[in-house]
Chains A and B, each alone.
Chain A
């Protein structure tokens, strides 16, 4: 089966930087994704890493190390609207289905 570990909660102030780590154990690996969910609403896609290294999209960056089965999501210049839950997810086969971590709740304080 698949197993993903990520911290349950992170709190930071506006303007700060937050790193959400994700370690995974899977039978196969096609890529690591990150999704954001506000207030229990529809999760939305943030980023994807299939190869080792850093992917940057605006204030958000995502990193992957396949040899360590580890990745992280970096949130920079935190804003109040970044308060949400963040999920890492692994695609472990050719059929596009994902296995999700339990999620990290990020709270941004003024």
Chain B
């Protein structure tokens, strides 16, 4: 199994360009998440989808939109990229149910905005 797959792995954009980051999971998980990771700041939640058909804002949603296309896929869109959005973006998924449901992460997308 591939687990969580993110595309692309690297991307360079110019300020004002738009971009969609793709994420797909093959573990039949209900919940999916988008994080950004900046030096010294850990992982910050941008948006999440608790189940197919629902999306909610996380800690840092401004400048982003998401789409839960189906149970497998959760995309993140930057409509007008800004240099402050230069970061490493991680997608994750988890099951739901009683007890701990660990999150499984993709390898990340390294995004630079010039």
Do A and B interact? yes
Interface residues of A (CB under 8 A from B): 1, 8, 31, 33, 35, 40-45, 48, 50, 87, 89, 95-103
Distance in angstroms between the alpha carbons of A50 and B99 in the assembled complex = 8
B residues with CB within 8 A of A: 4, 31, 33, 35, 37, 40-45, 48, 50, 56, 58-59, 88, 90, 94, 96, 99-108
Contact B42 A87 (CB under 8 A): yes
**B42 and A50 contact, CB distance less than 8 A:** no
**Are A96 and B106 closer than 8 Å at their CB atoms?**
no
Chain B residue numbers with a CB within 8 Å of A87 are 42-43
Chain A nearest CB: distance from B9 CB in Å?
A: 11
CA distance A59 to B43 in the complex (A): 25
Given A95-B31, A99-B59, A103-B42, 10 more pairs with CB closer than 8 A: A41-B107, A42-B4, A42-B106, A42-B107, A43-B103, A44-B105, A95-B48, A97-B50, A100-B44, A102-B40
Q: Are A102 and B42 in contact (CB under 8 A)?
A: yes
The CA-CA distance from A96 to B33 in the complex, in Å, is 10
22 contacts between A and B (CB under 8 A): A1-B59, A8-B40, A35-B103, A40-B88, A43-B43, A43-B105, A45-B102, A48-B100, A50-B100, A87-B43, A89-B43, A96-B31, A96-B94, A96-B96, A97-B31, A97-B58, A98-B45, A99-B45, A100-B43, A101-B42, A102-B41, A103-B40
- Which of A33, A102, A103 is the one whose CB lies under 8 Å from B100? A33
Q: Which 7 A-B pairs have the closest CB atoms?
A: A45-B102, A48-B100, A42-B105, A102-B42, A100-B43, A100-B42, A95-B50
With contacts A99-B59, A102-B40, A102-B42 taken as known, whether A43 is within 8 angstroms of B90 at the C-beta atoms is yes
Interface contact B101-A96, CB-CB below 8 Å:
yes
